[in-house]
Amino acid sequence: MSLLELIGRADERALAAGALACLDRCLPLLGGSAGPQPLRPLWASCEDGREWATRLAVARAAVEGGAPVTDGPAVLVRAMFRAAPSDFAATPLREWADACSLAALRVHGGLDAPGEGPPRDEERLLELARKGGPAAVGPLVAGELERQVRVLEVLAETGGTTGSGAGLRKALDLSTEGRRILCAVMSRRARGRG
């Protein structure tokens, strides 16, 4: 099933966790200015939406209160936070999950081609990635696409069952893996400039 189909069929829990996972993987772009793991409390709210708005406000304050950011990808990450809905409801969460998915693919696409700026045909790259064509995009975009799909699949498999907490933990593990990869890429690029 394609990423777009998975987002279209996801419930509130999967939509919130899928969007959070995209954000979580992109946090290294803020350079630690958001503090350690500002999203952790929000993950706990994905199960049933309990305290979602309150925890979202705390996470948003942590991200907004960090050091100023001026480069495009970091600004995009902060914009992803600003777009997060306070209502734990399917329609606003689906819009947010879709926007976070696209933003994360954009961020990874920009890092796939260091020194060249954003991909020349970004819309085509995003279309290929989201329709399930990872071979046609760079390795970072392909990896990000794979993680987005896997997170939503894991959450769909565990939705409405007693194992739903395990599904959220697996989604968080996949996100952590992606964050480590992004950190490694950023570190290599920084060494290459130094």
**pLDDT digit string, tens, across residues 74-95:** 888 888 989 999 999 999 999 9
Which segments of 72-163 does DSSP mark as H helices, in order?
72-82, 90-112, 122-130, 139-158
Asked whether the predicted pLDDT for residue 124 surpasses 70, the reply is: no
Q: What is the pLDDT of residue 127?
A: 67
One-letter identity of residue 71? D
Q: What is the pLDDT of residue 118?
A: 42
Asked whether the predicted pLDDT for residue 148 surpasses 80, the reply is: yes
Asked whether the predicted pLDDT for residue 68 surpasses 90, the reply is: no
Task: State the number of CA atoms in the 13 A half-sphere of 13 facing the CB.
Answer: 20
Whether the pTM exceeds 0.85: the reply is yes
3-state secondary structure of 111: helix
Higher pLDDT, 121 or 14: 14
CB atoms within 10 A of CB 152: 25
One-letter identity of residue 21? A
DSSP run (H or E) holding 36: none
**Cα 61 to Cα 39: distance, rounded to the nearest angstrom:** 11
One-letter identity of residue 166? A
Higher pLDDT, 135 or 6: 6
Q: What is the pLDDT of residue 117?
A: 42
Q: What is the pLDDT of residue 116?
A: 46
Mean pLDDT of the chain: 83
Asked whether the predicted pLDDT for residue 53 surpasses 80, the reply is: yes
Question: What average pLDDT does range 44-58 have in this prediction?
Answer: 93
Asked whether the predicted pLDDT for residue 131 surpasses 70, the reply is: no
Quote the tokens at residue 182: 């992004």
Q: 185: which residues sit within 8 A by CB, 6+ positions away? A: 111, 140
